[in-house]
Amino acid sequence: MLQFVLIAGVVLIVIVLGFLFRINTLVTVVKGAEKHPETKSNKINGLLMFLFMVASLILLCWYSYARFDDYTMPVASEHGVVTDNLFWVTTAVTGFVFILTNILLFYFSFKYQYKENERAKFYPENNKLEIIWTVIPAIVLTVLVFTGWKAWTDITDAAPEDAEVIEIMGQQFAWSVRYPGKDGKLGKVDYRRIDATNNFGMDLSDRNAFDDFMAPRLYVPKGRPVELKIRARDVLHSVYAPHFRLKMDAVPGMPTRFWFTPTKTTEEMRQETNNPEFNYEIACAEICGRGHFSMRLLLVVEEPEVYDKWYAEQQSWLSQNPDYLSQIPVELEELAQISVENTKGNKETENKLN
């Protein structure tokens, strides 16, 4: 019933509007069809141009000021400070141009609206002006490019030697994290070895894989460079840690990397944001299917001491999955056993952090 009333209402409104339009048209015809550009409409449109400019400038300034804290995200990495600065420098430069050109556009539209006894100025070209406004933007852009280029090369440069190496792998629709263990080296992987337990497809003929361990979250130490080795096992994903200004695609068949230095622990950020529930998060930024919007991984930044302690206590994947010992080549079996024995003692203290 309600639906019927709604539909009837809409139809009625459309009919009334239609009639109004028709009457208006007929009135115009009666008044005389010939229209002159200096009619009221032209003045109203000119005035609206001006009003639009004023209103939108006020709205822009008010909203940008009032909601500043909502749209700026606290930054927690070293390079993030640099790119944020670039962002604000660019905002200052382009904001100036944006406001100036828009004001000129709307103001000229308003000011030079049609007047019957006036004539436009015949002003077809001025090469000097053209050169000025080609050269000035070119110089400004060159400056912006060079600062951006410097930051970009620093960020994408090879990670420092002592960086913590951690692997993060995307799959539909979750992230998995692997640490290299005590030897600091990630074991080889082969996607053909992936199964329900061996999520990463670890190749156990590589001795570096024996002490690798997984974690349910991405733990990183504050103040130390961290190099993420990024891969995907099914479709494209993209590691996106907004607070760290970090984004890099995960590509099946082509490992990628991104290194950064966290500057604030999770705890520090909780205090800074006055939010005891605060957590760093990693999201997926490359469309990957149905669950794209739900690929969440917690990222935890710890003080280096706490991190080191946690790291030392972790049990290797192999010691938790002894079934896979059978995959190890004969000549490496003894080595694997030792590696497994070494980490067994950690069982009780495991996962004290969380």
Partner 1 sequence: MATEHQLEGNGVSHDDHDHDHDHHQSFVSKYIFSTDHKTIAKQFLITGIFWAIIGGAMSIIFRLQLGFPNSNVGWLKPLLGQWITEEGKIDPEFYLALVTMHGTIMVFFVLTAGLSGTFSNFLIPLQVGARDMASGFMNMLSYWFFFLSSVIMMSSLFIQTGPASGSWVVYPPLSALPQAMKGSELGMTLWLVSMAIFIVSSLLGGINYITTVINLRTKGMTFSKLPLTIWAFFLTAVIGLLSFPVLFSAALLLVFDRSFGTSFYLSDIYIGGEALPNTGGSALLFQHLFWFLGHPEVYIVLLPALGITSEIIATNSRKPIFGYRAMVGSLFGISILSFVVWAHHMFVTGMNPFLGSIFMFLTLIIAVPSAVKVFNYITTLWKGNIVFTPGMLFSIGLVSLFISGGVTGIYLGNSAIDIQLHDTYFVVAHFHLVMGSASFFGMVAGVYHWFPKMFGRMMDEKLGYVHFWFTFVGVYLVFFPMHYIGIAGFPRRYYSFTNFDAFQSFTDLNMFVSVAAIITFGAQFIFLFNFFYSMFKGRRATLNPWKSNTLEWTTPINPGHGNWPGEIPAVYRWPYDYSKPGAEDDFIPQHIPFSATPESNLPHENELIAEEKEEEGIVVDETKES
Size of the site for partner 1 (CB under 8 A): 114
Q: Which is nearer to partner 1, 56 or 321 (CB)?
A: 56
Scanning 36-44, 218-226, 301-309, 321-329 for contacts with partner 1 by CB under 8 A, the matching segment is 36-44
From the list 33, 274, 323, 348, which residue makes contact with partner 1 (rule: CB under 8 A)? 33
From the list 4, 290, 326, 354, which residue makes contact with partner 1 (rule: CB under 8 A)? 290
> Across the strands, what pairs with 250?
237
* Interaction between residue 286 and partner 1 (CB under 8 A): yes
* Interaction between residue 5 and partner 1 (CB under 8 A): no
Cβ(247)–Cβ(285) under 8 Å? Answer: yes
From the list 76, 220, 284, 301, which residue makes contact with partner 1 (rule: CB under 8 A)? 284
* Interaction between residue 279 and partner 1 (CB under 8 A): yes
Edge-first strand listing for the sheet containing 218-221: 218-221, 297-302, 280-284, 237-241, 246-250
Question: With 0-12 CB in 10 A as exposed, 13-18 as middle and 19+ as buried, what is 344?
Answer: exposed
What track of x and - describes contact with partner 1 for positions 327 through 346 (by CB under 8 A)? --------------------
* Interaction between residue 197 and partner 1 (CB under 8 A): no
Contacts of 280 (CB under 8 A, 6+ apart): 76, 241, 243, 244, 266, 269, 298, 299, 300, 301
From the list 90, 271, 349, 351, which residue makes contact with partner 1 (rule: CB under 8 A)? 90
**Pairing relationship of beta strands 218-221 and 213-215 according to DSSP bridges:** unpaired
Scanning 37-45, 175-183, 216-224, 308-316 for contacts with partner 1 by CB under 8 A, the matching segment is 37-45
Q: Which is nearer to partner 1, 86 or 215 (CB)?
A: 86
Radius of gyration, alpha carbons of the chain? 32
Residues in the chain: 354
* Interaction between residue 293 and partner 1 (CB under 8 A): yes
Q: Which of residues 112-171 bind partner 1 (CB under 8 A)?
A: 112-115, 118-126, 129-130, 133-134, 137-138, 141-142, 144-145, 148-149, 151-153, 155-156, 171
Asked whether the CA dihedral 250, 251, 255, 258 is positive or negative, the reply is: negative
- Location of structure tokens 């990463």: 200
Q: Which of residues 213-272 bind partner 1 (CB under 8 A)?
A: 230, 233-236, 238, 240, 242-243, 245-249, 251-254, 256
- The string of DSSP codes covering 204-271 is TTSGGGTT-EEESSEEEETTS-EEEEEEESSS-EEEEEGGGTEEEEEBBTB-EEEEE-B-S-HHHHHH
From the list 174, 201, 203, 325, which residue makes contact with partner 1 (rule: CB under 8 A)? 201
